[in-house]
C-alpha cells in the first residue's frame, strides 16, 4: 500500500511524503502500474517545483519513500501541489486498495 501525506500551512500544500509500494508482491501487475503512476506524478511535481519554478526543497528519496518539503513556496508551487493532491486523490478513489491519502490544504501544520 502506498501512503501519501500532504503537509500544508495557511496558504496551502508545501510538501508531501510518499511511502510504501502499491503492489502486494512481484506478481501484482495492477499494483506495479499504480505504483508507477504515483512515482511519475511525484517526480514530475518535484522536478517542476525545483527545476522550473526554482523553489528550494528538502528532498529525501529511498526505495519506497519520497519526502519533499519546500521551505518558501512560490504561489505557483502551491497550485502545482494542489494539482498533485487532486491527481493522487482521484487515483486513490479508483485504486483504494493501493493508495491512501492523508492531509491537504485544509490540514494546517502548526
| Cβ 57 vs Cβ 44: under 8 Å | no
Task: Note whether residue 58 is domain-resident.
Answer: yes
Give me the domain span that covers residue 13: 2-98
Residues 6+ apart with CB under 8 A from 83: 45
Give the angle 67-42-85 at the CA atoms, nearest 5°: 95
DSSP structure class, residue 108: -
Output the pLDDT for position 26. 67
CATH of the domain at 35: 3.30.70.1490
- Closest by CA to 12, choosing from 75, 58, 66, is 75
Q: Is 104 helix (H, G, I), strand (E, B) or coil?
A: coil
Task: Note whether residue 63 is domain-resident.
Answer: yes
Output the pLDDT for position 110. 37
Output the pLDDT for position 70. 97
Three cell numbers at 110?
Answer: 502548526
Location of C-alpha cell 502499491: 22
Output the pLDDT for position 61. 95
What is the total count of domains within the chain?
1
Which regions in the chain score pLDDT beneath 50?
107-110
Output the pLDDT for position 109. 46
- Closest by CA to 68, choosing from 80, 107, 21, is 80
Q: What is the pTM of this model?
A: 0.88
Amino acid at each position: 500500500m502506498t501512503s501519501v501525506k500532504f503537509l500544508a500551512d495557511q496558504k496551502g500544500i508545501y510538501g508531501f511524503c510518499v511511502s510504501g509500494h502499491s503492489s502486494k508482491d512481484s506478481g501484482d501487475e495492477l499494483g506495479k502500474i499504480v505504483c508507477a503512476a504515483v512515482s511519475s506524478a511525484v517526480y514530475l511535481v518535484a522536478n517542476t517545483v525545483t527545476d522550473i519554478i526554482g523553489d528550494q526543497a528538502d528532498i529525501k528519496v529511498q526505495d519506497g519513500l519520497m519526502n519533499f518539503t519546500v521551505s518558501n513556496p512560490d504561489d505557483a508551487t502551491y497550485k502545482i501541489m494542489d494539482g498533485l493532491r487532486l491527481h493522487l486523490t482521484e487515483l486513490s478513489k479508483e485504486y483504494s486498495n493501493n493508495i491512501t491519502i492523508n492531509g491537504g490544504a485544509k490540514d494546517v501544520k502548526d
